[in-house]
Amino acid sequence: MNPTCIHDLKPNRVVTVLEGRIARSYPMTMKFARGRWIPFRPIIMTDASGWVLVKIWGSIAINLLRNQQIRLEKAYCFEQNGSLCITLGSGAHLKICTQA
């Protein structure tokens, strides 16, 4: 399956596959959701066509570092404050392809 380019993202859709590099990793916080505290970390993901904010939920948020190559599968794209965002929902997967 061919990955989607960041330039081709559209809001309110599931992104089947998206590959890119972590350009910036913000500090991890804990958010209260579904009756428990969950690790949360926003990152900036880039590819050759642009960049997008990605909201990472769960234990995988602990392991993310700048310059890692990552692959998102079944992530959800939406619009927030006039710009596109991607979030990893319960059915989404994040794979770290290379270490920083």
Instruction: Return the percentage of the chain with pLDDT > 90, whole number.
Output: 79
91: region left, alpha or beta (phi > 0 left; psi from -120 to 50 alpha): alpha
Q: What is the mean pLDDT of the chain?
A: 92
| Strand pairing category for 29-33 and 36-47 | antiparallel
What is the rounded CA–CA span in Å between residue 27 and residue 24? 10
Give residue 2's pLDDT band: very low, low, confident or very high (50, 70, 90): confident
Q: Give dist(CA 99, CA 45) in Å, integer.
A: 15
Question: Do residues 42 and 19 touch, judged by C-beta distance below 8 A?
Answer: no
Range of weakest confidence among 12-16, 20-24, 88-92: 88-92
Q: Class of the 6-98 domain?
A: mainly beta
User: For position 100, what pLDDT does the model report?
Assistant: 54
Q: Where along the chain do its domains lie?
A: 6-98
In this prediction, residue 1 carries a pLDDT of 65
pTM over 0.75: yes
Share of the chain above pLDDT 70, in %: 97
Of residues 28, 38, 19, 99, the one with CA closest to residue 65: 99
Report which of residues 44 and 89 the model is more confident about.
44
